[in-house]
Amino acid sequence: MKKKTLIELLLRCLEKFDNNNGIINTKVGEDYVPVSRYELLSEVKKLKKYFDSLKLKANDKVAIISENRTEWIITDFACMLSNLISVPLFTSLSAEATKYILKDSSCIICFVSNELQLHKVLSVKNELPELKYIVCFNQVKTNGNVLSFQKLLNSFKETDGKDIKNIIEDLSKDISEEDIVTIIYTSGTTGIPKGVMLTHKNICSNILACMKVLALTENDSFLSFLPFSHSYERTAGYYLAFFSGSKIYFAKSIDTIAMQMQEVKPTMMITVPRLLDKMYNRVMRRSDDMPDGFGKKLFVWAIKLAKNHKRKKYSIKWFIADKLVYKKIIARTGGRVKFFVSGGGALNKSVGEFFDRIGITTLEGYGLTETSPVISVNRPGKNKYGTVGIPLDGVEVKVAADSEIIIRGDLVMKGYYKSEEETRKTIKDGWLYTGDIGKIDKENYIMITDRKKSLLKSSGGKYIPPTHIEDIVQQLTYIDQVLIIGNERMYVTALIVPDIEELRNLSKKMNLNIQSNSDLVRNKELLKKIDTDINNIQKDLSQYEKIRKFTLLEKPFTIESGELTPTMKIKRKIVEEKYKDIIEKMYHKV
């Protein structure tokens, strides 16, 4: 490549692949409607003409507030070719949070997906003097303040007859590696969002390094469900797939993934631990719905075999279990998945190992928005569960004196937008300080043990790693979400969101006649059983790390309520504030 830019990657795509093949696929009714690279870029060309007509300056900001869809990609590439900076926002953000980002980034244009997002932006537009234009992807009633995306494109017809490849080659000359592609505001589990500035070199170097790990082709297909607004999905689930010639299918929602996996038959899934946990729990529950008999006994035997690490894989027993049970489980993923790539949080080691033993490999990786985002990942054939793999090519990783992981390489962000002080705190002498605590083994595999800022300190001065404790407790199948409390406290407590269906099954096994969910989380006998299970599973923890009290919550933490990040990590400060009265009750009496 002449230079590390996304435009050079795009040119390479146009030379290497059949540009008339459908690569972006959207489900409409019962069918998937494909869009080819050529069709996509024809629309990009029209949108660029619109940008040109507004006489925007290089580095002007363009916001995108939308679910994953073809229009998102068209807008993204039009921004790149126009040397404009895209600012993606999560659709789950409140109007106030949306206003903060649009104002902080000084966006001139805002693209929204639908009426809901449109009304959100319109409700704060009077407080955004720099926001001049709003464009809606869906057909809605428009006025002088709002433009229809399709009408806008239709107004810019093909007139020059110039080949799209020649246009991109001409534009490429004016785009440098150091030009900013995007500003991504970190949702964060704590604090005010910061705008991460990522350049062409940052993202391009990351894509090229990922390509060396996963040898993707035009025969590969991705089912995309994490938001493009997040750097993880944008780089690994969108750019990596697109520039490798692979197909992208959009999931309608997280609830349709199980069904769509069987329809799409993806070869690659970019995912988060929470989805894998749900898949694992679903497999564990399968036998509950089976009638008593040989089939149920066979299934239970095969699952026990997969969970028994002392038993060798590919033994005669394993082959029998594979043929009669494991292949049926794999068929529910579409039957073609080569790898699940897990990031955005810690993968439960036992979950990863279980799926591996039934024939589904999960490659756990690690990254940050500030590193474009992938730092490390396990390699096919060299997978070590319990680690986040080895660094990508061109990435230097070491552990500081206080065990903080620090990073150096082309993937490290340009800095935080409008915040030189925060940038200086995070990047020192070229090294990015991740805020993650971890270690590196002799084979260069990285293990993340906790977030530096998440470490709790008891009133007795002991440091408590909440993530480690949460991972242990979540091994109980009826526990869905956990938040450990204990900072400046005498002992550790926990807010626990149960898997209601699993908890109901447990109550039936205990012959408890519990009707409502509300009674389920308050039943004394059930709480006593959970207390015993938690004590047993945390027996190897130090005394000061053990959960002494817990409260079961009836409602789960969600993205919509602001309690989870888009990759489904719990926002500690928000949850602690929301449930402060319940937390205080757990500390009234020892």
What is the tens place of the pLDDT at every residue in 171-213?
899 999 999 999 999 865 446 789 999 999 999 999 999 999 9
Phi and psi at residue 496, to the nearest 5°: -125, 125
The reported pLDDT for the residue numbered 310 is 72
The reported pLDDT for the residue numbered 189 is 47
* H helical segments located in 416-455: 420-426
- Least trusted range by pLDDT, from 145-149, 242-246, 286-290, 411-415: 286-290
For range 497-525, the mean pLDDT: 91
**Span 548-559, pLDDT tens digits:** 999 999 999 998
* Superfamily designation of domain 6-264: ANL, N-terminal domain (3.40.50.12780)
Could you tell me which of 459, 487, 450, 478 has the C-alpha nearest to residue 580?
487
For range 329-351, the mean pLDDT: 93
**Span 106-132, pLDDT tens digits:** 999 999 999 999 999 999 999 999 999
Provide the pLDDT confidence category of residue 453 given band limits of 50, 70 and 90: confident
Tally Cβ neighbours within 10 Å of residue 195: 23
Could you tell me which of 587, 499, 581, 504 has the C-alpha nearest to residue 547?
587
**Span 28-45, pLDDT tens digits:** 999 999 999 999 999 999
DSSP for residue 287: G
Could you name the CATH architecture of 456-585?
2-Layer Sandwich (3.30)
The share of the chain scoring above pLDDT 70, in percent, equals 97
Residue 226 neighbours by CB under 8 Å, 6+ apart: 232, 233, 237, 270, 271, 272, 344, 566, 567
DSSP for residue 324: I
For range 494-498, the mean pLDDT: 96
Residue 129 neighbours by CB under 8 Å, 6+ apart: none
Q: Mean pLDDT, the chain, as a whole number? A: 93
144: pLDDT strictly greater than 80: no
Provide the pLDDT confidence category of residue 459 given band limits of 50, 70 and 90: confident
- Identify whether the C-beta of residue 438 lies closer than 8 Å to the C-beta of residue 447: yes
| CA distances from residue 353 to 334, 384, 579 in whole angstroms, order as listed | 20, 9, 35
Tokens of 397: 């990783």
For range 141-154, the mean pLDDT: 86
Provide the pLDDT confidence category of residue 362 given band limits of 50, 70 and 90: very high
On the question of a common fold for 6-264 and 456-585, the answer reads no
16: pLDDT strictly greater than 70: yes
| CA distances from residue 225 to 82, 122, 451 in whole angstroms, order as listed | 28, 27, 26
The reported pLDDT for the residue numbered 142 is 67
590: pLDDT strictly greater than 50: no
CA distance 137 to 77: 16
DSSP conformation letters of 529-575: HHHHHHHHHTTTS-GGGSEEEEEE-SSPP-TTTTSB-TT--B-HHHH
Residue 182 bridge partners (DSSP): 86, 198
Provide the pLDDT confidence category of residue 160 given band limits of 50, 70 and 90: low
For range 293-310, the mean pLDDT: 91
DSSP for residue 379: B
Rounded (10°) CA dihedral 422, 423, 425, 430 = 180
Tokens of 388: 């986040």
**Span 403-431, pLDDT tens digits:** 999 999 999 999 999 999 999 999 999 99
The reported pLDDT for the residue numbered 530 is 96
Provide the pLDDT confidence category of residue 317 given band limits of 50, 70 and 90: very high
Vertex 441 angle, CA 437 and 443, to 5°: 140
DSSP for residue 236: I
359: pLDDT strictly greater than 60: yes
- pTM of the entire predicted model: 0.88
380: pLDDT strictly greater than 50: yes
User: What are the residue ranges spanned by the domains of the chain?
Assistant: 6-264, 456-585
Tokens of 173: 């000359």
The reported pLDDT for the residue numbered 325 is 97
Tokens of 118: 């449109």
Could you tell me which of 163, 153, 104, 155 has the C-alpha nearest to residue 130?
104
Q: What are the DSSP E strand ranges found in 394-520?
A: 396-399, 404-408, 415-416, 427-428, 431-440, 446-451, 456-457, 463-464, 479-485, 492-498
313: pLDDT strictly greater than 70: yes
